[in-house]
Amino acid sequence: MTCYYCDRHVDGHHHQHDHFPIPKMAGGTAVVPACLECHDLKDRYTLARRWPVSGYFEALRGLMGEALISLEKQDSETAAFDWLASHPSLSDEAVLARWSDLPPLSRVLYGKLRRLHEEELFRQRKNGLEPSHTSALVAALRSTSADRIRHNAS
Ligand SMILES: [Zn+2]
């Protein structure tokens, strides 16, 4: 068995069942095998505190490809988040289609964004709001470090 994110071999005793793409708290039941390190990066460590700055940027660049350069052209943080949230490179279809070509950390970052996204949709429904995918994705992206995106993209 291999880790869904880094392809490392994990044996029956040392892998974890990671809820992907929908987290358990939002009702997700599908699980993938994950090594402890990837699971920690995805669910337990925050981007602001435990992820290396360069690792985060490399992962984002892996996910977005050349499109990331266009981030520089956004003239405000809000515009940058809206642009990112609506970018087709971040759709499930687009990402899962090239999953095997993505660097491990990009896969983990995507899993993290998807988790935050689904948790936000879950909160919106719980509060009686009509779930908005764009606002949920923006919230997920915003909870990652805005400063890092802006600092590293410039
Ligand atoms: Zn792993």
* 98 CA from centroid of ligand 1 (Å): 17
Is it the case that residue 140 has pLDDT exceeding 60?
yes
Mean pLDDT of the region 139-148? 62
pLDDT per position as a tens digit, 98-119: 999 999 999 999 999 899 889 9
Nearest to 136 by CA among 81, 94, 93, 95: 81
For the chain, domain boundaries: 47-153
What the block records as the tokens of 149 is 């995106």
Q: 8 alpha carbon to ligand 1 midpoint, in Å?
A: 6
Rounded to 5 degrees, what angle do the CA atoms 51, 57, 63 make? Answer: 110
Higher-confidence residue: 132 or 8? Answer: 8
Phi, psi of 15 (to 5 degrees): -105, 165
Question: CA angle, 61 as apex, 84 and 140 as ends, to 5°?
Answer: 40
Residue 148, judged by CB atoms within 10 A of its CB (0-12, 13-18, 19+), counts as middle
Distance (Å, whole) CA 98 – CA 134: 22
In this prediction, residues 132-154 reach a mean pLDDT of 63
Q: What is the pLDDT of residue 151?
A: 47
Residue 123 has pLDDT above 80, yes or no: yes
Give residue 128 CA to ligand 1 midpoint distance, Å. 37
Question: Residues 18-24: what's their mean pLDDT?
Answer: 94
Question: Predicted confidence band at 133 (pLDDT cuts at 50, 70, 90)?
Answer: confident
**Mean pLDDT on 35-50:** 86
What is the mean predicted confidence (pLDDT) over 64-89? 77
pLDDT score, position 2:
94
Closest among 4, 116, 16, 107 to 55, alpha carbons compared: 107
pLDDT of 154 > 50? The answer is no
Rounded to the nearest whole angstrom, what is the distance from the C-alpha of residue 152 to the centroid of ligand 1? 25
- Rg value, the chain, Cα: 15
Quote the pLDDT of residue 144: 64
State the average pLDDT for the chain: 83
Global pTM value: 0.82
Alpha-carbon distance of 19 to 60, in angstroms, equals: 21
